[in-house]
Structure 1
Amino acid sequence: MLSRRGAFWLLVPVLAILLGYVVYPSLRMFATGMTWDNYAALFSSWRSANVRALYTSVWISLTTVLGAGVLGTTLAYLFFRFDFPLRRTLMALAALPLALPPLVGVLAFLFLYGESGILPRSLQALLGLDAVPFRFEGLWAVWLVHVYSLYVYFYLFVMAALRGVDRSLLEAAADLGAPPHLTFRRVVLPLLRPALVSAALLVFMVSMASFTAPLLFAGTDNFLTLQIYNYKTNGDLALSAAVSTVLTLICLAFLLLIELGPRRPGTGAAKGAAPPPVPVRSGWARALALGGALALLLFLLLPIATIVLLSFAQEGSWTYQILPARYTLANYVDLLADPDVFQPIRNSLRMAALATAANVVFGVAAALLIAKSRLPGRTFLRLLTALPFAIPGTVIAVNLIVTFNTPSPLGFGRILVGTFWILPLAYFIRHIPFVVRATVAALEGYDDRLSEASADLGAGFLTTFRRVVLPVIGPGILAGTLLTFVAALGEFVSSIMLYIFENRPISVEILAQLRLYDFGAAAAYAVFLMLLIGLSTLVVHRLGARDAAGAL
């Protein structure tokens, strides 16, 4: 679809942005951190804090893969294979944790399961204990938050793979007398192997980059992301860059495994119709399924309900009580009526909109080069656009600090660190893969003969793109736009290391209110953030549906 000349004119700015704002800052960070003295200081002993941080990060990531894999795969297979009470409701809500900003999800678990949380105190009162029977802290708390947040990747990957399973394979296994568990192990599981491997690599990489859950729950346990933050906070940028280098290399290795690994589905998949779900008719089996469905609904919805409830809590009304003693609407009134309270919301909206607009323009241009040009090196370009996903938010922040703490051509001759613009730039870099991947997926299903017919009728490239291509790939672009805007609205990891008071976003203000013990205000900000994300999802979904209908 793209001529060689048109592809060249697109390649120049796309490559300049990737090299200037993604690759070059990473190389600067490597140069700052990769010295013998730094690593001798960091890893001088097997008992050093950084060695423990490396071990803890890897161990938590491996156990997260195991826990999220079991939960996500089990749910996907049960929803696919069986029809039971509340199945449709659960299928609609199963991906809910993916839509929650990381800080909001962690905050919900803190209010619900923390030492002063609703559940421990309820059990203490119910059982007449002198102390809470359990407290949500330490490594197991980080693990549970990770499983809650990341099982969705396994669920979505496995569910997509199951839709391509040929029903004749399952029927043949049943005709041969194989029980359900044997059918799953010997027939279904081999077909799911590519999806499981991809999801496992992705979950491990995301877990390694996790910052919010370790920050609020890890206590004295060390994590690589926390070490990066602590060194930066203490003013030791060289050691922060050194730890960032270690974490980045680990994540890059997993990115390469994902990008260069096999993409073909399992042998024997996707040739016949998918089997319909089998109704659960036995009385005890339906009761068990209903009980499990209700438990899962509580697991999914209770954290959100807790945030909503506490958003009405009056300041100082929740100390030793199970629930807040007094409730008020003032937390929400202040959000809209008090300019100082509303400022973080305004900042987040402005910065998310700026970053998203840049991501859309850049993402569409890069996707056209990847999917519709004949230039050599498109695989390398695809890897470069995926690179920000492998760089943790803490590392991106360190990259930008190292690169833009002095005037440079990339910063238009200005120092960007300590200014408003550093956060939109961080959001743009972090979310480059979203629009690119969504648009590439849409372009791969586009028929180039439509563009050829438009050109034969005398239309130029821009006219063809606006009148023919864009209506077809519009839903894909809108999906990437939604992901980018939502992620930027709730971004916390880079924000906590780069913000200044004037551009503090919602996520940073939530943490500030939490540290001031104003739980109602923190929860109100969290609810407002969830509403903004929900509204964005609804608007883009409606626009995407309308554009898709218009393209048919």
Structure 2
Amino acid sequence: MVRSKRSDLAAAALTLLLAWLVIYPIVIVAADAAHPSALRDFFTRPGEWAALWASIWISLVSVILAAAIGIPLAFLFEWFDFPGRKTLGALIALPVVLPPLVGVIAFLFLYGESGFIARAVQSLLHLQNAPWRLQGAVAILLVHAYSMYVYFYLFTRAGLAKLDVSMLEAAQALGADRRATLWRVIVPLLRPSLVGAAILTFMTALGSFSAPYIFGGGFRVMTTQIVATKLNGDLPLAMVETVALALVAMAGLIILRRTEGDDILVALGKGIAPRPRPIRRASVRWLAAGAGWGLAVLLLLPHLTLALVSLVPYGAWTTEVLPPVINFDNYRRLFSETERLRPLWNSL
């Protein structure tokens, strides 16, 4: 009796907490958005619909690009054995630890107009101006693809690790070739993992602000549109834009969840995942290892860029391809000056 009463109290407390943290903000936003003039402005201004459509297609293309990078990497590192596979597999997942803003800044220092790559190309080709301008939808998609492929990589690797080898053996015994086994056995079993990665990528891209804000330029998505509207003092219209973005997110969640299907696939068998296949030919094995390390370095370049830039004193690096001075002065100032250390403690 006492235990049941405690459970009821805990459930009531949890319900009140969720109502305060989730339902109450939604009600406040919806109430502020129910303003006739704000609704009229939203539905009649082409810029609002353009920003909303930009958010949708940027998110969809981000899912496609992230899947195109993450899924093949997952198959490579989960199913094939070559020198350095475990180390590389862990290194390639490192972009997930970068906060969104930090990743965008790292991308800017590496591939931006004044970044390492642009300066190197400009110096090599003796150009007067930067060879490219990293701005607009293409720049946003590049940042999203780099930072979000990890979702597909991790989800797909987890799904492959749970596959039952007996299912693959049964498919081969029934005469299915590798392509048929992939599309009729492996992909259906991986569908929950792929849908989960797609949902996470779509939601992250839809709510992305750092990349559109820094690289967008004149290209507006709904997140930057909301901030611009708020800064202009039109709070009711900003609330309408927020509700519109939330409705798109809910619609995307429902659609992606339905692609998972109603059927539940259960693998009954040995419960043993396929072992990584060793690459027999030495030349191919070392070629795969070299390609893997090269890809890992390419994907980790933004991390390495951050580490290098953090060692450059303020004002010491201007037009040179590489920084002329490297020391630990920035770290000394960070830990010795209270006003610089306080944001770090606040974040922790």
Tell whether the structures are fold-level matches, with TM greater than 0.5: yes
3-state SS in 2 of match to 1:43: helix
| Secondary structure of 1:275's aligned partner | coil
**Which has the larger displacement, 115-124 or 165-174?**
165-174
3-state SS of 2:78 partner = helix
**Contact 1:63–1:143 under 8 Å retained in 2:** yes
Q: Measured at CA, do residues 299 and 270 of structure 1 come closer, stay the same or move farther in structure 2, by a change above 3 Å?
A: farther
Aligned partner of 1:434 in structure 2 is: none
Q: Which amino acid aligns with 1:83?
A: D
Give CA deviations for 1:148-168 in whole Å, capped at 9, x if unaligned.
Answer: 222222122222221222213
Correspondences of 1:280-299 after superposition (within 5 Å): 280-299=279-298
**Residue matched to 2:30:** 30
Structure 2 match to 1:199: 197
Cα RMSD (Å) of the superposition?
Answer: 2.5
Q: Distance in 2 between matches of 1:19 and 1:153?
A: 30
What is the deviation of 1:252? 2.7
Deviation at 1:223, TM superposition (A): 0.6
CA positional deviation for 1:34:
3.0
Q: Is the 8 A contact 1:108 1:303 kept in 2?
A: yes
Aligned residue identity for 2:339: D
Cα 1:285–1:336 change in 2 (3 A) is same
Q: Report the AA paired with residue 342 of structure 1.
A: L
**Residue correspondences, number:** 347
Superposition pairs of residues 215-254 of structure 1, within 5 angstroms: 215-254=213-252
Q: CA deviation at 1:4?
A: 2.7
Partner of 1:321: 320
The alpha-carbon deviation at position 268 of structure 1 amounts to: 3.3
Question: 1:15 aligns to what?
Answer: 15
**Cα separation, 2, equivalents of 1:54 and 1:17:** 32
Given the superposition, is the C-alpha separation of residues 258 and 51 from structure 1 closer, same or farther in structure 2, using an over 3 Å criterion? closer
Other-structure match for 1:305:
304
Q: CA deviation at 1:20?
A: 2.0
Show the counterpart of 1:54. 52
Once residues 249 and 270 of structure 1 are traced to their aligned partners in structure 2, the CA distance between those partners, rounded to angstroms, is 42
Structure 2 match to 1:106? 104
In the TM superposition, what are the counterparts of 1:513-524 in structure 2 within 5 Å?
Answer: none
Alpha-carbon offset, residue 264 of structure 1: 7.4
- Tell me whether 136-145 or 340-349 shows the greater mean CA deviation: 340-349
Identity, in percent, stands at: 42
TM-score, normalization: structure 2? 0.91
Q: CA deviation at 1:196?
A: 1.2
| Matching of residues 431-446 of structure 1 within 5 Å | none
Deviation at 1:283, TM superposition (A): 4.3
CA distance in 1, matches of 2:270, 2:247: 40
1:364-383 equivalent positions in 2, closer than 5 A: none
Taking a change above 3 Å as real, the CA distance of residues 207 and 188 of structure 1, as seen in their structure-2 partners, is: same
Cα offset for 1:205? 1.4
Query: What is the aligned partner in structure 2 of residue 170 from structure 1?
Result: 168
> Are the structure 2 counterparts of residues 12 and 256 from structure 1 closer, same or farther at C-alpha, using a change threshold of 3 Å?
farther
How far apart, in 2, do the equivalents of 1:266 and 1:159 lie? Answer: 18
Note if 1:346 corresponds to 2:342.
Answer: no
Structure-2 separation of matches of 1:23 and 1:270 = 44
Q: Summarize the Cα distance change of 1:35–1:289 in structure 2 as closer, same or farther, 3 Å threshold.
A: same
Which residue of the partner structure matches residue 337 of structure 1? 336
Relative distance call for 1:8 and 1:239 in structure 2 (3 A) is same
Which residue among 95, 102, 113 is the counterpart of 1:97?
95
Correspondence for 1:447? none
**Relative to 1, partners in 2 of residues 1:5 and 1:88: Cα closer, same or farther, differing over 3 Å?**
same
Residues in 1 aligned to 2:155 and 2:268: alpha-carbon distance in whole angstroms? 14
Change (3 A) 1:37 1:83: same
Deviation at 1:318, TM superposition (A): 2.1
TM-superposed CA distance for 1:227, in Å, is: 0.8
CA distance in 2, matches of 1:196, 1:339: 46
Deviation at 1:263, TM superposition (A): 8.7
CA–CA distance in structure 1, aligned partners of residues 273 and 191 of structure 2:
18
Shift of the 54–29 alpha-carbon distance from structure 1 to 2, 3 Å rule, reads: same
Q: Give the partner amino acid of 1:293.
A: G
Which structure ranks higher in relative contact order (CA pairs < 8 Å, sequence separation ≥ 6)? 2
Give the secondary structure class of the aligned counterpart of 1:298: helix
For 2:121 and 2:175, the matched residues in 1 are separated by 47
Q: Is contact 1:201-1:257 (8 Å) kept?
A: no
Does the CA contact (< 8 Å) of 1:194 and 1:263 recur in 2? no
